[in-house]
């Protein structure tokens, strides 16, 4: 075992604060990583405050981890000391079920082991995330960071990036397709970049007209103000795909009407009941599909990192001193970040 430091919440109402704890010594298939950067995801806030009811304390968030390999177990072949690597939302899974066998560990039938607040499959200890100076993870769940990528800006690709890339890939978005992206936060701005790089004609749906210029800077071809009924009506039957990154309940019906027949509306941001209800006619009458998608598998996480290197895509980030993490949470809740905070772990030493 070795001693690690990090920021954790001790209860649902406590702010994050420094904590010293133990990380395990690497098992034969483990990689030990010195964490250099860690992105701050909205899930971190939900979990730290137990808003999903599944938190385990102390809770150390962080699942957009980039760092350098410091030690490897005897059987490790994928990574070596000194390699620049990443860890996303999962650190283990059953590895034998149908989903795991298909490289879709996020849908593991036994449930994947999440990077934080989940019992380790071997010793039962509570996993601790990336708001820390180190982490120890089985090599299968560690990905390679391509040299071309900026390390800090690469961190959010491990959650925000893969979450938006995976469904676009799964549904086969291709050149000429018309893709609508709902919302332009951490997920949405990556969705715009990916859809554009796949050759699609991309439209941002936003509530505020003021975001139009910024959306175009991100690569969107068009902007629809979703609160403008006329603009929504004019888009009826237009889109092949909608990538819905809105994390709060919203009426899907006006969006579904903008899909052509066979169009697919993909939810990636909402983990709550759909309210108001979807009118089935909006699906039935045009054979439309309402779908959901969760992050992506490990092989696909490597694929999205390589895709980002190839297409010069990175996340727009604001660097964060870890001592300001609680204020950063408040700013995220207020929508006041473009588009992802990334903790510079060098500030943890100070
Ligand atoms: Zn996340
Ligand atoms: Zn499995």
Average pLDDT score over residue span 73-85 = 98
Cβ(175)–Cβ(198) below 8 Å = yes
Asked if the model's pLDDT at residue 134 lies above 90, the reply is: yes
- Percentage of the chain beyond pLDDT 70 is 100
Q: How confident is the model at residue 48 (pLDDT cuts 50, 70, 90)?
A: very high
Question: What's the pLDDT score for residue 299?
Answer: 98
Which residues neighbour ligand 1 (ion) by CB within 5 Å? 41, 43, 159
Which ligand neighbours the alpha carbon of 113 most closely?
A: 2
**Gap from CA of 106 to ligand 2 centroid (Å):** 8
Asked if the model's pLDDT at residue 349 lies above 90, the reply is: no
**Gap from CA of 80 to ligand 1 centroid (Å):** 26
Question: What's the pLDDT score for residue 246?
Answer: 95
Q: Pick from 71, 79, 60, 72: which is nearest to 21 by CA?
A: 60
Asked if the model's pLDDT at residue 343 lies above 90, the reply is: yes
Report pLDDT digits (tens) over 282-334.
999 999 999 999 999 999 999 999 999 999 999 999 999 999 999 999 999 99
Asked if the model's pLDDT at residue 350 lies above 80, the reply is: no
Which ligand neighbours the alpha carbon of 111 most closely?
A: 2
**Gap from CA of 3 to ligand 2 centroid (Å):** 31
Question: What's the pLDDT score for residue 346?
Answer: 98
Q: What global pTM score does this model have?
A: 0.96
Which ligand neighbours the alpha carbon of 97 most closely?
A: 2
Question: What's the pLDDT score for residue 208?
Answer: 87
Distances (CA, A) of 31 to 80, 85, 202, 241: 8, 10, 39, 39
Task: State the helix-helix crossing angle for 186-197 and 160-170, rounded to 10 degrees.
Answer: 40
Q: How far apart are CA 335 and CA 189, in angstroms?
A: 13
- Percentage of the chain beyond pLDDT 90 is 97
Asked if the model's pLDDT at residue 279 lies above 90, the reply is: yes
Asked if the model's pLDDT at residue 251 lies above 80, the reply is: yes
Question: What's the pLDDT score for residue 264?
Answer: 98
Which ligand neighbours the alpha carbon of 112 most closely?
A: 2
Q: How far apart are CA 65 and CA 152, in angstroms?
A: 9
**Gap from CA of 101 to ligand 2 centroid (Å):** 7
DSSP string, 5-66: EEEEBSSTTSPPEEEEEEEPPPPTTEEEEEEEEEE--HHHHHHHTTTTS---SSB-----EE
Q: Pick from 83, 86, 105: which is nearest to 94 by CA?
A: 105
Average per-residue pLDDT for the chain: 97
Report pLDDT digits (tens) over 185-217.
999 999 999 999 999 999 999 998 889 999 999
């Amino acid at each position: 075992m070795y001693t690690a430091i990090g920021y954790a919440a001790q209860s649902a109402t406590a702010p994050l604060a420094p904590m010293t704890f133990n990380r395990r010594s690497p098992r034969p298939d483990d990689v030990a990583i010195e964490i250099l950067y860690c992105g701050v995801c909205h899930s971190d806030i939900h979990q730290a405050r137990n808003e999903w009811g599944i938190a385990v304390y102390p809770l150390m968030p962080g699942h957009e981890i980039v760092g350098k390999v410091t030690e490897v177990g005897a059987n490790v072949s994928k990574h070596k000391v000194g390699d620049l690597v990443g860890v996303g939302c999962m650190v283990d899974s059953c590895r034998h079920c149908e989903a795991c066998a298909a490289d879709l560990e996020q849908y593991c039938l036994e449930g994947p082991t999440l990077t934080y607040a989940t019992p380790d499959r071997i010793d039962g200890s509570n996993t601790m995330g990336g708001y820390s100076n180190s982490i120890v993870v089985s090599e299968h769940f560690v990905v390679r960071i391509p040299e071309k990528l900026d390390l800090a800006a690469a961190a959010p690709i491990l959650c925000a990036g893969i979450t938006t890339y995976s469904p676009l890939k799964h549904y086969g978005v291709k050149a000429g397709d018309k893709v609508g992206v709902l919302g332009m936060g951490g997920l949405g701005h990556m969705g715009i970049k990916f859809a554009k790089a796949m050759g699609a004609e991309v439209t941002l749906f936003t509530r505020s007209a003021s975001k139009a210029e910024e959306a175009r800077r991100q690569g969107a071809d068009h902007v629809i103000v979703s609160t403008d009924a006329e603009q929504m009506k004019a888009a009826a039957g237009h889109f092949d795909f909608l990538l819905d990154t809105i994390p709060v309940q919203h009426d899907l019906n006006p969006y579904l009407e903008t899909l052509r027949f066979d169009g697919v509306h993909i939810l990636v941001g909402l983990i709550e009941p759909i309210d108001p209800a979807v009118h089935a006619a909006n699906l039935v009458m045009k054979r439309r599909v309402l779908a959901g998608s969760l992050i992506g598998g490990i092989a696909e996480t490597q694929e999205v990192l390589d895709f980002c290197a190839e297409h010069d895509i990175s996340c727009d980030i604001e660097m964060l001193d870890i001592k300001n993490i609680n204020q950063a949470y408040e700013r995220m809740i207020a929508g006041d970040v473009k588009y992802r905070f990334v903790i510079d772990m060098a500030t943890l030493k100070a």
